Amino acid sequence: METNSDQFIRYLATERGLSAAYQLSVRQTLDALSGWMKSRDIKLQDLGTDELAAFLSQRKTDGLNAASLRITTVHLKVFFRWLVTKGLLEMDPAEPLLAPRPDMTLPETLHASELVKLLDSIDSSVPLGRRDLAILELFYSSGLRLSELCKARLEMMDFEEGFLRITGKGGKTRIVRVGHKACEAIAVYLTNERPDLVTKKTSSHIFISVRGGPLSPDRVRQIVKERAKLAGIDQNVYPHLLRHSFATHLLEGGADLRVIQELLGHADISTTQIYTHVDRQRLKAVHKKFHPRG
């Protein structure tokens, strides 16, 4: 089991180009399965669907929630499909497994008026004001993940067309739209503030620190929280909240779900569909508040 697990992880890394975080997640699933098999003296060739179902049941007993069990099931399906493809197993015992439905957790969002309040509160005349405004404008304009914003480089930005080329999850490259307000804020920062932060070791990352290095994800989280606090916003504000708000506000404005999927870089439309539930919740709240018999 250990040898096959190692080979599978190498396959994910070298042939599929999946992230180190994903590889670690799969490794944890396979290590848990290996330990479960050893405790019951079960060999890989003896694993059937019933045994895998019993393993998943044990994981649930151990405290895994529905979402984690769903991910674990997907890991098992991909692993055993690979074993069959390689001729290491004749039958795929994971194929009949049904992944549990994840608990419906609606993403938090920030109201459009609160976002305007946040962006308008930043004074561009103070040190790092231009940089921080550009960061927040880009988050809200393009729905970037935190890691994507931190990795954004100057050569990826097309100001004339208003696009940014980024590399997202799984090493996939996509083109995201950057609105005119965000383009303007980034241009002002690049012209009037970034040059003063540059050192001999500075790379081409768009957003850099006072020491000239690229901003870390932790520092960007801190910037977002600090700016929200200064704006007098009581809600917990973090980078992914801005991404959720970007998608939700597009949907409320009438954007097609497929377009939102492409902008967010979701591989599966089902991931994007969570925002339709947010919109339904809003419609229910409005109806209840304003309809005479709501």
CA within 13 Å, CB half, 158: 10
Determine whether 275 is an active site residue.
yes
Q: In the predicted model, what is the mean pLDDT of the chain?
A: 89
Residues 195 and 282 in one domain: yes
Residue 127 lies in a domain: yes
Residue 3 has pLDDT above 70, yes or no: yes
Catalytic member of 117, 169, 225, 282: 169
Question: Are both 175 and 279 inside the same structural domain?
Answer: yes
Query: For 203-221, what is each residue's pLDDT tens digit?
Result: 999 999 999 999 999 999 9
DSSP line for 68-94: HHHHHHHHHHHHHHHHHHTTS-SS-TT
Active site residue 240: yes
Identify whether residues 7 and 138 lie together within a single domain. Answer: no
How much of the chain, in percent, has pLDDT values that exceed 70?
Answer: 92
The answer to whether residue 169 is catalytic is: yes
User: Is 107 a domain residue?
Assistant: no
- At residue 104, does pLDDT exceed 60? no
Judge whether 201 counts as a catalytic residue: no
100 domain-assigned: no
- pLDDT over 80 (residue 232): yes
Domain of 44, CATH number, reads 1.10.150.130
For 266-281, what is each residue's pLDDT tens digit?
877 777 877 776 656 6
pLDDT of residue 281: 62
Any alpha helices (H) in 143-256, and if so which ranges? Answer: 146-151, 180-192, 194-197, 217-230, 239-252
Alpha-carbon distance of 268 to 92, in angstroms, equals 24
- Other CB atoms within a 10 A radius of the CB of residue 81 amount to 14
Query: Could you confirm whether 219 is annotated as catalytic?
Result: no
Last residue of a domain, which of 68, 85, 102? 85
Please indicate whether residue 229 is annotated as part of the active site.
no
pTM above 0.75, yes or no: no
8-state DSSP, 184: H
User: What is the per-residue pLDDT for 273?
Assistant: 76
pLDDT of residue 18: 85
